[in-house]
Amino acid sequence: MNFAIRYLTEYRYDGPVTDNLNALRVKPATLPTQTVEDFVVRIDPETRLNQHLDYFGTTVIEFGISRPHEHLSIDVRARVRTAAPAVPEPTGWSPVEDRSYDAAAGEFLLLDGSEPDDVAIDDLVGLTRAESPLATAQRVIEVIPDRFEYRAGVTYVGSTVADLLAAGAGVCQDFAHLALLLLRRHGIGARYVSGYLWAPQDGDEASAEVETHAWVEALLPAGDDLVWVPLDPTNRTLGGETHVKVGHGRHYADVPPIKGVYRGAAGSELSASVRMTRTDVSPSRT
């Protein structure tokens, strides 16, 4: 699939602010199944942009605005071509239990200490164990949406898995964090992924307003190799050509789209929108 993506974020302050420092993780990744054909960021007020790769390989774009201002606009545009990743054939558990697997998975196997000590987690681990790592991963992305309702407003950006368990509902970020916990409890390396999902309300639409999306990748055996397989627990599916990856980390805090601080006592009002347009199809006509 071919997409044109526009991610527009605007901050309005109720007074002048200065020293507005921001880090963006909004550039789609370059992968064997994903090609970035064009990418541009426009900032108003204008300023110099600096770009580097973070520890996990995600592109970070940094900028600062020192002079007083009462409005900040971040206009991100990209053109991306995607293809569906191959799904590995199921194998047994022995490749995952090998010591070399631990070295390949690294920190993506580790729990971070914030996981709830809850019998519900133990139940979910038992319920999702299957005859192979791939089957286990597939069971994880089926069980989570069966057990928890997708509902905005009951959690927030800093919510934990414990909050999801307590509310019985959450959003894609919460589902992804629970999937990470379950996969790691099974001994499967897993990482948090941020990006965009093409999911128009009407399947014939050529352009649609969407939201930033979260899913996970699991390190699974594939023949004599290991591959990162995308899994979307919100939509109970493997990741495919409708998923546009920006970056990955251990959890959300490693890949927030925008993170910043400013100097001043003024409050701020945020508006953000993401529009994806299929450039390989013609708009439907009535």
| Residue 76 pLDDT > 80 | yes
What mean pLDDT is predicted for residues 128-156? Answer: 96
Determine the average pLDDT of the residues in 6-26: 97
DSSP, res 204:
T
User: SS3 of 107, please?
Assistant: helix
| Residue 203 confidence (pLDDT) above 70 | no
Q: Does the structural domain 94-254 have CATH classification 3.10.620.30?
A: yes
Q: What is the pLDDT of residue 112?
A: 79
φ, ψ at 132 (rounded to 5°):
-150, 160
pLDDT of the residue at 286: 41
**How confident is the model over 204-228, as pLDDT tens digits?**
689 999 989 999 999 999 988 999 9
Buried b (16+ CB within 10 A) or exposed e, 184-200: bbbebbbbbbbbbbbee
Question: Mean of the pLDDT values across residues 43-72?
Answer: 97
Both tokens of 133, joined, read 């790592």
d(CA 76, CA 60): 13
Cβ atoms of 123 and 143 within 8 Å: the answer is no
Q: Kindly state the average pLDDT of the residues 95-117.
A: 90
pLDDT score of 145 more than 60: yes
Residue 285, pLDDT above cutoff 50: no
∠ CA(141), CA(142), CA(145), 5° rounding?
90
Q: Does the structure show a pLDDT above 70 at 257?
A: yes
- The pLDDT of residue 226 is 95
Architecture of domain 2-82+256-278: Sandwich (2.60)
Residue 283 reports pLDDT greater than 70: no
Residues 229-250, mean pLDDT to the nearest whole number: 97
- pLDDT of residue 40 exceeding 60, the answer is yes
Place of tokens 């997708």: 150
What was the pLDDT predicted at 52?
98
Answer yes or no: is pLDDT of 80 > 50: yes
Domain boundaries, the chain: 2-82+256-278, 94-254
Per residue in 43-54, pLDDT (tens digit) is 999 999 999 999
Q: Band of the pLDDT at 92, cuts 50, 70, 90?
A: very high
- Does pLDDT of 284 surpass 60? no
pTM of the entire predicted model: 0.94
DSSP per position, 22-72: EEE--SPPPBTTEEEEEEEEEEES----EEEE-TTS-EEEEEEE-S-EEEE
